[in-house]
Amino acid sequence: MSRPLNVALIGQKFMGRAHSNAWGQVPRFFELERQPAMRAVAARNNDEVSAFAQRWGWARATADWRDFAEDKEIELVDVATPNDVHAEQSIAMLAARKHVACEKPLAGTLDDARAMAAAARAAKKKGVHSFVWFNYRRCPAVALAHKLVREGRLGRIYHVRAHYLQEWGGPSTPLLWRFQKKFAGSGAHGDLNAHIIDMARFLVGEELTEVHGAIERTIIKERDLPGKPGKKGVSDVDDCVLFLASFAGGATASFESTRLAYGHQNDNGIELNGEKGSLRFGFEDMNVLSLCEKRERRTDGWQRIMCTSGGNHPYAANWWPDAHVLGYEHGFVNMAADICRVLGGAEPEVPLPDFEDAFQTQRVLEAALLSARERRAVKLSEVK
């Protein structure tokens, strides 16, 4: 029998549920050298975390995440907490020689992200790995797009269009931590643009070199305080950010995020245009990749690829028969499986982001905010 990979989780809310489901599903669907064992979960409220542990299959619960540093059985710590505590928790676990998988964005601030990347570099020299949950890389359609670009099917990339639009952040949404700068760092920008910046870098295979211009807007400046009827607090993060940028190879790119786009529930989309063709992906139809390659005009046009064939599409063989579609949760399960692959000494199906990789996305986030606030172009060489 293979040696289990002992995992601990910090956090029990939305991402805590998504990650718990992923760790629990991996042994059921993936044959791996090292299968995850759900050893412990930590969260601030002792009663809540105990119930959470029982429901989701964690062997024990604690109200103090620092316990994990001293637990010699735990090998991987999964950080699924608000952005402002990513740095403290991740750096402490890396120092204790625990592998760390952290939620995105890497941190709420560039300074925290820089410190995390430095800690991960030092830990890597001791054989300790870091990972970041940019889970959309693990959609079979996105992973296929990555392979097609690497095969040269689009040729040189000329143009990238990316957007992430949601509708849930309207005036009736209370002042959650995501609307407070001290916890989140930024609003829709860090929450949503982080995903599409990562996806664009991942697919193109190049770094962004300059932000040419950006717009940042806070539209709803006050929100109801949760549990306090009639009382309001300040919402001090962006509701929408748009910016234009360039890749190292010369491709132009546009990025747009908001949580105020009614009718767009989770509209995470990207399009790449190249010298030989184009491709596009939209998460609200996540099992489909659209591809248009240059042919004679009579047969030119977009091809709809259903990315559910186990013999042809990444990750699909671990799940269901053709066109028995995957959903949001499966991207997390696929990523958890790839983390297990790496820690078992194997290669993942497509590249996994580590802290250094996610720090490059954080630099782009920072450059866009700097461009918006100073109303100028910002080279990424300025953001270190």
CB 131 within 8 A of CB 358: no
Instruction: Burial-class residue 72 by CB neighbours within 10 Å (0-12, 13-18, 19+).
Output: exposed
Joined tokens for residue 193? 């643009």
On whether both 101 and 28 belong to a single domain, the answer is yes
Residue 90 included in any domain = yes
Half-sphere exposure at residue 259, Cβ-oriented, CA atoms within 13 angstroms: 22
Residue 151: the pLDDT is 97
Q: pLDDT tens for residues 233-281?
A: 999 999 999 999 999 999 999 999 999 999 999 999 999 999 999 999 9
On whether both 120 and 186 belong to a single domain, the answer is no
Residue 23's domain comprises: 5-135
Three-state secondary structure call for residue 112: helix
On whether both 144 and 102 belong to a single domain, the answer is no
Residue 183 included in any domain = yes
CATH of the domain at 124: 3.40.50.720
Residue 352: the pLDDT is 97
Of 190, 244, 249, residue with least CA distance to 378: 244
Residue 118 included in any domain = yes
Helices 14-29/46-56 angle, 10° precision = 20
On whether both 210 and 312 belong to a single domain, the answer is yes
Half-sphere exposure at residue 125, Cβ-oriented, CA atoms within 13 angstroms: 6
Tell me, what DSSP letter sits at residue 65?
T
Q: Are strands 277-282 and 288-293 parallel, antiparallel or unpaired?
A: antiparallel
Residue 1: the pLDDT is 56
How far apart are the C-alpha atoms of 171 and 256, rounded to whole Å? Answer: 20
On whether both 106 and 222 belong to a single domain, the answer is no
Residue 187: the pLDDT is 97
Domain boundary among 118, 135, 152: 135
On whether both 255 and 149 belong to a single domain, the answer is yes
Q: What is the DSSP string of 58-114?
A: -SEEES-TTHHHH-TT--EEEE-S-GGGHHHHHHHHHHTT-EEEEPSSS-SSHHHHH
CB 195 within 8 A of CB 134: yes
How far apart are the C-alpha atoms of 331 and 141, rounded to whole Å? Answer: 11
Q: pLDDT tens for residues 295-329?
A: 888 888 999 999 999 999 999 999 999 999 999 99
CB 167 within 8 A of CB 259: yes
Q: Are strands 130-132 and 288-293 parallel, antiparallel or unpaired?
A: unpaired
How far apart are the C-alpha atoms of 200 and 279, rounded to whole Å? Answer: 12
On whether both 307 and 159 belong to a single domain, the answer is yes
Joined tokens for residue 275? 């010298």
C-alpha angle 359-98-362 in degrees, rounded to nearest 5: 10
On whether both 84 and 118 belong to a single domain, the answer is yes
Domain boundary among 81, 109, 135: 135
How far apart are the C-alpha atoms of 123 and 98, rounded to whole Å? Answer: 9
Instruction: Burial-class residue 373 by CB neighbours within 10 Å (0-12, 13-18, 19+).
Output: exposed
Residue 337 included in any domain = no
Of 246, 279, 252, 269, residue with least CA distance to 152: 279
Neighbours of 268 (CB within 10 A): 23
Joined tokens for residue 187? 């609003």
- Phi, psi (rounded to 5 degrees) for 359: -65, -35
Q: Which residues of the chain have pLDDT under 50?
A: none
Q: Are strands 208-217 and 240-247 parallel, antiparallel or unpaired?
A: antiparallel
Number of domains forming the structure of the chain: 2
CATH of the domain at 257: 3.30.360.10
Residue 46: the pLDDT is 87
Helices 86-95/110-124 angle, 10° precision = 10
Residue 98: the pLDDT is 98
Length of the chain: 384
On whether both 315 and 168 belong to a single domain, the answer is yes
On whether both 123 and 143 belong to a single domain, the answer is no
Residue 378 β-bridge partners: 211
On whether both 148 and 114 belong to a single domain, the answer is no
Residue 39 included in any domain = yes
Q: Are strands 99-102 and 130-132 parallel, antiparallel or unpaired?
A: parallel
How far CA 165 is from CA of 195, 257, 264, in Å, comes to: 11, 6, 6
Residue 347 included in any domain = no
CB 83 within 8 A of CB 116: no
On whether both 91 and 185 belong to a single domain, the answer is no
Domain boundary among 135, 153, 176: 135
> What is the pTM for the complete model shown?
0.96
Tell me, what DSSP letter sits at residue 261?
-
How far apart are the C-alpha atoms of 286 and 256, rounded to whole Å? Answer: 19
